[in-house]
Copies of this chain bind each other. A is one copy, B any other.
Amino acid sequence: MRTHQPFARERLRSFERFCRARRLPVTVQRRAVFEALAARGDHPTADQIYEDVRTKLPEVSRTTVYRVLETFGRLGVAQSVCHPGSSARYDANMERHHHLVCVRCGKMRDLADAALDRIPLPSRRCGFRVLDGSVYLRGVCSECRDAERSARRSTRSRAEEKR
């Protein structure tokens, strides 16, 4: 992808502009966390980000990464995505998008889908002022489907042993 590098640089630029506009000091650490986050297409945990950042900034502390991510979440630079049975995960993709979640292993992927984007959202509901919405699709990923198949096979043979 030839356009990736310039795009990343542009993202970094707009990140800096964003920070300055809010009088939020642009520190090396924040820049590094932002870059690490933007470089990923998945939903890393704080610790994965920490590891990524450490390759560029070995002296960074885990605490700082947590704090920066918290700040990002609060300011809308990244969002923390939820995920049952796992530690907090972050997503640098702030554009409207949806999620695929594997009900077996919990793996999650972003999903761009124009049809889902078009669903009409209520603007107000149950006292909430609705800002936006996204669709969570639950399903079984290909790895788990395979694993399940073999598990079923072994269950069946175990059942046969019992007879």
Q: Which residue numbers of A lie inside 8 Å of B, CB to CB?
A: 73, 79-85, 88, 100, 102-103, 109, 111, 113, 115-116, 119-122, 125-142, 145
Contact = CB atoms under 8 A, between A and B. Distances in A.
A140 B130 CA distance: 7
B135 A130 contact: no
Given A84-B73, A84-B88, A133 B137 contact: yes
Contact of A136 (B83, B136, B145): B136
A132 B140 CA distance: 10
A105 to B, nearest CB: 11
Given A84-B82, A84-B88, A116-B119, A130 B136 contact: no
A129 B136 contact: no
A102 B128 contact: yes
Given A83-B82, A84-B73, A85-B80, A128 B115 contact: no
